[in-house]
Chains A and B, each alone.
Chain A
Amino acid sequence: DGGITQSPKYLFRKEGQNVTLSCEQNLNHDAMYWYRQDPGQGLRLIYYSQIVNDFQKGDIAEGYSVSREKKESFPLTVTSAQKNPTAFYLCASSITPSDLGGNSPLHFGNGTRLTVT
């Protein structure tokens, strides 16, 4: 079955350490996204990529970095510069890169819950 795989499901890190969250898709989608979800809030866009070797900052990119070396993969690094990294992180993809989920639906992975102490 096609889908998006995020790993690991739970991740624990000490403050000051960088950590990388994995996102792999086999849907052959061009566009991929990273969202952050906090309790009682909607999703907020961190970064998005419309094509391989290109990515753009979303609304809350500070303290995060990404790469898009392969169509299937869009890893997110949470750096020590991120002030409040504990959150639920969701990766998504969509078939049409130009509309960024505005018409074609987003397909989501099951998320990674990051806890930093």
Chain B
Amino acid sequence: AQSVTQLDSHVSVSEGTPVLLRCNYSSSYSPSLFWYVQHPNKGLQLLLKYTSAATLVKGINGFEAEFKKSETSFHLTKPSAHMSDAAEYFCVVSEWEGRRALTFGSGTRLQVQP
């Protein structure tokens, strides 16, 4: 069975400083991994996805994530935070369990201080 753990429920950074949102997963096979972003009272938007190609994945808005199989991690990073990055971020793992199943992490709320 698959699972995903987002290690921080809240992260606060200053504008212009780096962002690190941590995600660990467990999966029986080779999973697909995603990061989605959700702004308040909105739906989720895909930031980036990993599907067994390059381990460093670049997404929208300057975000990227590195798949590390040995550490079972898929941390999300951005070199320089912008005020508009303030939102909730979800790490998602996908594998086949009789049907394709998505498991969402519990989310990390990112605050960006001016």
**Contacts from A to B (Cβ < 8 Å):** 4, 6, 9, 40-45, 56, 90, 92, 98-103, 105-106, 108-111, 113
Contacts and interface: CB of A to CB of B under 8 A. Distances in A.
A4 B94 CA distance: 23
Contacts of B101: 100, 102
A90 B102 CA distance: 15
A38 to B, nearest CB: 10
The DSSP consensus for interface residues of chain A is loop
Interface residues of B, number: 27
Contact of B103 (A42, A92, A105): A42
Contacts of A102: 32, 94-96, 100-102
Interface of B: 4, 9, 32, 34, 36, 41-46, 49, 51, 90, 92, 94-96, 99-107
Contact of B106 (A4, A42, A98, A106): A42
B20 to A, nearest CB: 20
